Structure 1
């Protein structure tokens, strides 16, 4: 707004002065009009250069702030590995690099504005020479008062040029920052809901995969030929080594990605044709790394259901058998937490996310290493409560702790993006395959921990 206001005022001043000069003395006005192509040439020369250097400054500043934020967030790791000097050296290099970009902007701006000022002074000198000749020449017989009057008008005309030059350079700097913002805002998503996408007003929770394949890069599939059916109320456990495709599979159920080929049906409807907001409103996701916003515990829980009352939230926590743990916080459920859950332990953050998911009353629940950050006793309490709360809800459980999936209706063992074993916990132990080996490793690790 400031740029527009200053430009309108200064531009209006120049237009009015030019009109009076043209009316007063057309010949001398032609000298002033000769400034227009000069200004155009200067603008053409410096516009691209100034845009480039200001864009480079913005990008360099982003690198500096990103490195600073990362260093502050990882300060404990930095101190643990004694990397203070190395991180400081990296930051100094970035600052030195940033200073070079700032110098380039200063040099460009320091060249542009004096050239504008020199051009205006050159044309004023030209007016003085031509006007003085006409005053002194017997043939022209121009009154000296007319020349003085024209010079006053010329001063009014040239005075805003420096102001406009400053405004122009500031505008280019702002445009460089805006360009980065709008490049993000204008970025088109890889996919969006089709216009004829349907609502799922009351989801039953039946999930079916039909020969589904998916790859973040289509040439390198992460999941291959996945076929399975989870009936409403069933608990499906996903087991496999790191990188086997467990998290990718649940991300497809949550419609964070779309299948590369095959079908994924929710209540018999292809997930591509379901409105994303309709699906997410009836789905609860609890991940290993959950996000906690600044605010109170109540406000964070209410994200799952904005209309939930304090009593609803307390009841959800009571049913999960963790109300006493949350009420033990300094101010109970009204305890203020900082950015990303500062002030809460990892286990407490996990409990907040459990309550947040359950207060939304979801039809499909996804637990991705959901109890990995809580202690064994708390995990046992939550597992016992979940057995009752998950009744009637379809649940997908991803876990490395095999103790969390013993009661699953179906256990799927994934390896390199394929389902290689499926069945109940007892059936897979009897099969004595990959799952049985994983279970034996888990038992040995548990016994070793117990001895320690």
Structure 2
């Protein structure tokens, strides 16, 4: 074995963390700079492309529904003309013709009345034609019922389109998370990342659900109503069109002010979630160190920031709705006045004016709806930007197209001139070479921050090398799929991780195909069985995600049993017995000695008593392997290992160091 320079302690992420900021106790804020609204919105819409057939059906249904809704006021206007004509006709004596009535009005000097009567279907002496009126109203009712049915079907299909799109988005985010390198997660507060995966995607879903249907129907309604208004009266149509540029200018001015606040709102939401997640995960430590007031103050500040951003965004965007209603009312008054004058001059019928007033409402209503959706659209696009930032994050290098596999699983690991650094400006491992033979136990010791965990992280390909290579059973680990590589490795960390489920399920996580007999055998070998049998439900005892209903030592034993059940060719034990009591540690050491047979083991340890029997001990100090050898050889050398050992067993070394090392 040759040793040169090895990594010192892995550096902390720089202030500000990754692209999303850093942890709440360290201060820092997620980035608040947003993409442009237009490109982000278009990118979100493009995600609907796989649903194109359903979207075409939605558009067809919307066109039919809007068309029937647009025809309705015209028919109702005809009904009004029938009623008005009937009432006026009754004012003239029977036997008089319509032409005579018009001529009489004109002869009396009332030209406007004559023009109005000329446009009417006047039948002097007759009242309202209820048969024709009933038929007209029946047609109107049928059209509105059909329009409602088409719009219901359109909403049903659009809901399916939206949910399918969000389903794919969630799946894509999940796949993306699995392709991201470990260094990405090291720089992100968990609460901030969870906020993007949950809150932001839910907000995107809500935005698509509530806006797509209204935007589509609003656009079609504006087109259909505008065409009908031009057909009825070009003059009144021009008056109605004045609202469009005014509305666009007002909406644009307000949107520019509120968009930044919506981006800040969701950024502050992620920051607050990160703080809450971290504070409650470490609730006991917060209490022990009396940091409660400081945690509450950080929460108060971030909650205040979220309140200000949220209030400002909603208030400013909320101004759009009343402004649009005011513009619409002005338009309504103008149409009513001009329309009334045109009826009086006989230029239009009363029914057409009534229909046009309805159309003016239909015309301004979709514009008002779109304006009222501005805040929802901006909020949804701001959330989409945050999700897209996650999807655009740099991924780990892909697995080879034709992966290699070792001919036999023996567990031989070789470092060949390996160089690595977390920070390009700070050299860590430089030109390291070492060999771990099959069945050997390689212990890595040294003070905290010496870079011990870095070595095993490189073996697991949690990080990629800058130079050199690492081989497992003669195969370069970069030529293997990560799944195959990690499937050959069992790892037990100092920080235990258990998921919500039974003890049996947590052990079986190492090998989902294992039988109960194999699970029990692994439990007995790691002395899990002895405390499980004292529990009321035995292996079916349900533990929570934090393992709160078992002790720290018992949690560690379960994780060790999980690794042993996987039957790996290479074991990595990173302070695996640090949470186990002395008596249990002795039992676990015996079990590990038996289970390490024919396996290579990398053991990172601070307690040197756990690695006395290691075949090779690497002593790391200040980022270098300064010594290597067996326990006895290193004690006899009176070097760095001797100093570490003396700091833990000073009494045993006072007389003769050699017996203490036996």
Counterpart among 324, 328, 331 of residue 120 in structure 1: 328
Aligned-pair distance for 1:250?
A: 0.6
SS in 2 for 1:411: strand
Higher RCO (C-alpha 8 Å, min separation 6): 2
Aligned-pair distance for 1:174?
A: 2.5
CA contact (8 A) 1:346 1:373 kept: yes
2:509 pairs with 1:303: yes
Q: Which moved more, 1:334-343 or 1:274-283?
A: 334-343
**C-alpha distance in structure 1 between counterparts of 2:338 and 2:572, whole Å:** 84
Cα RMSD for the two superposed structures: 2.3
SS in 2 for 1:225: strand
SS in 1 for 2:573: strand
Which residue number corresponds to residue 611 of structure 2?
405
Q: What whole-Å deviation, never above 9, does each CA across 1:149-171 have from its counterpart, x for those lacking one?
A: 21122122222333333333223
Cα 1:266/1:6, change in 2 over 3 Å: same
2:314 pairs with 1:106: yes
CA contact (8 A) 1:346 1:374 kept: yes
Q: What whole-Å deviation, never above 9, does each CA across 1:132-185 have from its counterpart, x for those lacking one?
A: 45445x6x8344443222112212222233333333322322232233233223
Q: What whole-Å deviation, never above 9, does each CA across 1:80-105 have from its counterpart, x for those lacking one?
A: 33333333333223222222112202
Normalised by the size of structure 2, how large is the TM-score?
0.64
**C-alpha distance in structure 1 between counterparts of 2:601 and 2:555, whole Å:** 21
Q: How does 1:301-380 map to 2 (within 5 A)?
A: 301-380=507-586
**C-alpha distance in structure 2 between counterparts of 1:168 and 1:201, whole Å:** 62
Counterpart among 208, 215, 219 of residue 7 in structure 1: 215
**C-alpha distance in structure 2 between counterparts of 1:48 and 1:341, whole Å:** 49
Structure 1: 5+ residue runs without aligned partners? none
Aligned-pair distance for 1:249?
A: 0.5
Which residue number corresponds to residue 422 of structure 2?
216
CA contact (8 A) 1:226 1:418 kept: no
Aligned-pair distance for 1:233?
A: 1.3
Q: What whole-Å deviation, never above 9, does each CA across 1:345-387 have from its counterpart, x for those lacking one?
A: 1111101100110111111100000000000110100101111
Q: Which moved more, 1:313-322 or 1:163-172?
A: 163-172
CA contact (8 A) 2:528 2:554 kept: no
Aligned-pair distance for 1:14?
A: 2.9
**C-alpha distance in structure 1 between counterparts of 2:471 and 2:259, whole Å:** 50
CA contact (8 A) 2:259 2:313 kept: no
Q: What whole-Å deviation, never above 9, does each CA across 1:298-321 have from its counterpart, x for those lacking one?
A: 111222111112221111111223
Which residue number corresponds to residue 234 of structure 1?
440
Normalised by the size of structure 1, how large is the TM-score?
0.92
Larger Rg: 2
Q: How does 1:25-64 map to 2 (within 5 A)?
A: 25-64=233-272
Aligned-pair distance for 1:403?
A: 1.1
Which residue number corresponds to residue 68 of structure 1?
276
Q: Which moved more, 1:144-153 or 1:198-207?
A: 198-207
Aligned-pair distance for 1:434?
A: 0.9
**C-alpha distance in structure 1 between counterparts of 2:358 and 2:303, whole Å:** 48
**C-alpha distance in structure 1 between counterparts of 2:372 and 2:478, whole Å:** 52
Counterpart among 71, 93, 96 of residue 304 in structure 2: 96
Q: Which moved more, 1:414-423 or 1:38-47?
A: 38-47
SS in 1 for 2:414: strand
Aligned-pair distance for 1:410?
A: 0.9
Q: Which moved more, 1:49-58 or 1:78-87?
A: 78-87
CA contact (8 A) 1:222 1:416 kept: no
CA contact (8 A) 1:218 1:260 kept: no
Count of aligned positions: 446
2:454 pairs with 1:248: yes
CA contact (8 A) 2:406 2:475 kept: no
Aligned-pair distance for 1:447?
A: 9.2
**C-alpha distance in structure 1 between counterparts of 2:221 and 2:213, whole Å:** 12
Structure 2: 5+ residue runs without aligned partners? 1-208, 655-662
